[in-house]
Amino acid sequence: MTAMADKRCTADDVVARLESGMTIGIGGWGARRKPMSIVRAILRSDLTDLTVASFGGPDVGMLCAAGKVTKVVFAFVSLDTIPLEPHFRAARQSGAVAAEEYDEGQFLLALQAAAWRVPFLPTRVGLGSDVGAHNPRLATVTSPFPGPGGLPAEELIAVPALELDAALVHYNVGDARGNAAFTGPDQYFDDLMLEAAPTGGRFVSVERIVPTAELRASAGCDHRLRINRMMVDGVVEAPNGAHPTSCDPDYGTDEAAIAAYAATAKSAEAWDSYRQEWLTLPDETAYQSKLRATREGRS
């Protein structure tokens, strides 16, 4: 009998399957449920020249500050409680990273078009605004159908497919085969990110891996079983792996850690010292141990 695929791997295994120059989609939203353990593995690696597509938070800021990024595909980059991501701003204002800007709904359509393997999806979103002037990939398309009430046919924005080379997302619970569930309030766009990436480049980290037979009970509700194994090439067990972002209901945002990270945008020295202390540890286990030790020291 042929064995079922066991897709368990480490964050460093994931990074070994990525390449410099890739376009990488990162799941989550702002400072919420970011696959930070894999982002930390990228920060430890020699990967460079990345295009990062993200409903952006500290994932984007850290990768920009570390010089890993050539282009950011975004509608916003925010730390939630700190509305503007300071490292991302610095990278944009110095001209260090290029931008491919979207309205956040256009971003959804770009991922959906890639997932459905169509060249674009039409929308009214973007008409009249400067988003098309900022993003030359956006085009216009005239509806083949008559307009409403005898008006001329509608001109719409054509949002091109955002084809990723890899996608990284973080969920609450999964199995070894790549099925996974979110148990917090929002799925965000993680499943679309995975579907917009090709076979071989789709990775999910989870708070905990359980046997498939326990997945439904762990999810608590059928509707949360949003990621299935056809969408996934590798599963990383990463408890507290979204830190410092939130992973509701397992844990909230570590606001003190977010604030400390944000403060390092003040100077190159502050960032270097933060990176040295937190982002050059040998692996995720070391990061989590240092975090626990720091918290015990605090209390």
Q: Which range touches another protein (CB under 8 A), out of 6-14, 45-53, 95-103, 256-264?
A: 95-103
- Residue pair 95/282 in contact (Cβ under 8 Å)? The answer is no
Which of 7, 23, 26, 29 touches another protein by CB under 8 A?
29
Widest Cα–Cα separation across the chain: 71
- What does the per-residue mask of binding to another protein show for 104-143, with x meaning CB under 8 A? xxx-x--------------xxxxxxxxx-xx---------
Q: Which range touches another protein (CB under 8 A), out of 89-97, 211-219, 260-268, 278-286?
A: 89-97
Total number of residues binding another protein (CB under 8 A)? 46
Q: Can you spell out the DSSP letters for the chain?
A: -PPPP--EE-HHHHHHT--TT-EEEE-SBTTBS--HHHHHHHHHS---SEEEEESBSHHHHHHHHTT-EEEEEES-B-BTTBSS-HHHHHHHHTT-SEEEE--HHHHHHHHHHHHHT-SEEEESTTTTSSHHHH-TT-EEEE-SSPPGGGPPPPEEEEEEP---SEEEEEEEEE-TTS-EE--SS--TTHHHHHHTS-TT-EEEEEEEE--HHHHHHHHSSGGG--B-GGG-SEEEE-TTTTTTSBBTTTB---HHHHHHHHHGGG-HHHHHHHHHHHSSSSSHHHHHHHHHHHHHHH-
Residue 84 as a binder of another protein (CB under 8 A): the answer is yes
Of 18 and 180, CB closest to another protein: 180
Residue 89 as a binder of another protein (CB under 8 A): the answer is yes
Which of 33, 166, 167, 189 touches another protein by CB under 8 A?
189
Residue 196 as a binder of another protein (CB under 8 A): the answer is no
Of 185 and 211, CB closest to another protein: 185
Residue 259 as a binder of another protein (CB under 8 A): the answer is no
Residue 81 as a binder of another protein (CB under 8 A): the answer is no
Residue 279 Cβ vs another protein, minimum distance, rounded to whole Å: 23
Residue 271 as a binder of another protein (CB under 8 A): the answer is no
Q: Which range touches another protein (CB under 8 A), out of 113-121, 149-157, 167-175, 279-287?
A: 149-157
Of 251 and 291, CB closest to another protein: 251
Residue 33 Cβ vs another protein, minimum distance, rounded to whole Å: 12
Which of 9, 22, 82, 99 touches another protein by CB under 8 A?
99
Torsion of CA 66, 18, 60, 118, to 10 degrees: 150
List, in sequence order, every residue forming a beta bridge with 180; answer none if it has no partner: 174, 227
Burial (CB count within 10 angstroms: exposed 0-12, middle 13-18, buried 19+), residue 217: exposed
Residue 154 Cβ vs another protein, minimum distance, rounded to whole Å: 5
Residue 58 as a binder of another protein (CB under 8 A): the answer is no
Residue 65 as a binder of another protein (CB under 8 A): the answer is no
Residues that bind another protein (CB under 8 A): 29, 74-78, 83-84, 88-89, 92-95, 98-99, 101-106, 108, 123-131, 133-134, 147-148, 151-155, 185-189
